[in-house]
Amino acid sequence: MTITRIAGGTVFAGPRLEPRRADITIAGGEITDITAPGPPAGPGTLDARGCFVLPGFVDCHDHLRNLMPGLAIGEGLALDAMLAVMWESQRLMGPVEYRLGALLGGVQRLRAGITTVVDHCYTYHAEGLDRATLEGLGESGIRHAYARGVMTRPYEPVVEDWEVAARRMRGIVADGLIDPDRLFVAPVSLRQASPDDYRRCVDLAAELGAGLYTHVAETAAEIGDWEAQLGTTPIHALDGLGFLGERTVLVHCVKLTDSEIEVLAERGAHVVHCPTNHMKLAKGFTRVPDLLSAGVNVALGVDMMADMLVEIRSEVGLHAVHRGDPRAVSKVQALQMATVNGGRALGWGGRVGVIAPGMAADLLVLDGRAIEHGPVLDPHYAVVYTAHSGMVRDVLVGGEAVVRDHRCTTVDEDALLAEVEDVVARYLERLGHEPPWWRRKGDPS
């Protein structure tokens, strides 16, 4: 369904997300005007009275092959041990699982108000995985960027030779599967790619017109590896490799020095913070307040945790506790990290993340009259502290209603869930795991 007008909502307008009662006019997939409220009816009109209308959230870091969340063998492990489990459990995945993971992940994020996602995809241990992933993302209806991972070490069953990775990336661009402005050449991390791989990725990104993307500065062990292999800390090492620039996105950045923050600001590189993932894996505290103060653009990533509203709330609370200062990151700053800052990180700041004329009509409509909110004195407070993803009523991508009345319009949700459950059950059986509860006789159904 094409929407041409959203009427009567409390619109979080402009880069400051300033709430005001207004109508939004849409044409050609873009916002054309923001005006005083008028009648809530008419062809193509979405009645948003009693609702908050926000820019669609931008999830700048995710891995959408998370088809086995909560699998017991991976729970409670720190990062490096968890990665080993993930690689082992992913080795038999093929195009079917990759397509379904991207499709399910895209639908789940749309239902939570996320209109743009960066899928940092890896591993590539079989042919056809790029095409399957991109097909799944396209089917979901979510706006997406593709951070195409490069993993040449350390786990042989799922690594990919550098030349094969480069050939496949050239191929997906040449075949029109992804536009260069939606592609990031993405060495996974120093755990999974060598310094020479990083150098090659810089050259390949320049050749293709793509951006650069990596996990970095997550653990003390990783920092020790950078120092052992390149003689300096991660950000300075990346700078020496030519990896930093305005089209560079760096994920996590948990352990940074003052001089590294200065370099990030000078180069115009972007940082993505994933607060719930950091808490789950006990990674530590990224210096987000210091990064923001230095002028570094910081965005948010869901990173397999599924709900941007939780990430926004966690962003405020995590730094308040760590700094002993409730104002360390403000409500508005956290909302900006999930919207306008995300658009900037992707190089799409003129298209997504802000409600303003000329921007893409990527919007979410959130119930503003739910009892959980009441009474609403400050709309920012209501969204940050009392909203949850079940309140997301409608979602638009380019003016198309991809979620309407809490249901995704691009797929049959019930059929998709049944297909996913069947594929995952058969996959677990191939790995030698016990069937999931929905396949066992006598268990709840």
Residue at token pair 């923050």: 261
Smallest CA-to-CA distance from 191 within 294, 84, 337 is with 84
Smallest CA-to-CA distance from 45 within 12, 13, 1 is with 1
| 3-state DSSP assignment of residue 58 | strand
Which pLDDT value is given to residue 60?
98
Which residues make beta-bridge pairs with 367? Answer: 51
- Specify whether 363 is located in the same domain as 326: no
Which pLDDT value is given to residue 444?
55
- Specify whether 43 is located in the same domain as 67: no
Up-side HSE of residue 285: CA atoms within 13 Å toward CB? 17
Which residues make beta-bridge pairs with 270? Answer: 249, 297
Q: In which domain, by residue range, is 46 found?
A: 5-55+353-408
- Specify whether 120 is located in the same domain as 165: yes
Pairing, β 183-187 against β 143-150:
parallel
- Specify whether 285 is located in the same domain as 157: yes
The Cα–Cα gap between 380 and 310 comes to 14
Instruction: Look at the chain and report how many structural domains it folds into.
Output: 2
Which pLDDT value is given to residue 72?
63
Per-residue pLDDT of the chain (445 residues; tens, 9 = 90+): 999 999 999 999 999 999 999 999 999 999 999 999 998 888 999 999 999 999 999 999 999 988 877 766 667 778 777 777 777 778 889 999 999 999 999 999 999 999 999 999 999 999 999 999 999 999 999 999 999 999 999 888 899 999 999 999 999 999 999 999 999 999 999 999 999 999 999 999 999 999 999 999 999 999 999 999 999 999 999 999 999 999 999 999 999 999 999 999 999 999 999 999 999 989 999 999 999 999 999 999 999 998 999 999 999 999 999 999 999 999 999 999 999 999 999 999 999 999 999 999 999 999 999 999 999 999 999 999 999 999 999 999 999 999 999 999 999 999 999 999 999 999 888 888 888 888 876 665 5
In degrees and rounded to multiples of 5, residue 314 shows phi and psi of: -65, -35
For residue 218, the domain's CATH number is 3.20.20.140
- Specify whether 34 is located in the same domain as 173: no
Smallest CA-to-CA distance from 42 within 3, 69, 90 is with 3
- Specify whether 110 is located in the same domain as 214: yes
Which pLDDT value is given to residue 16?
98
- Specify whether 176 is located in the same domain as 256: yes
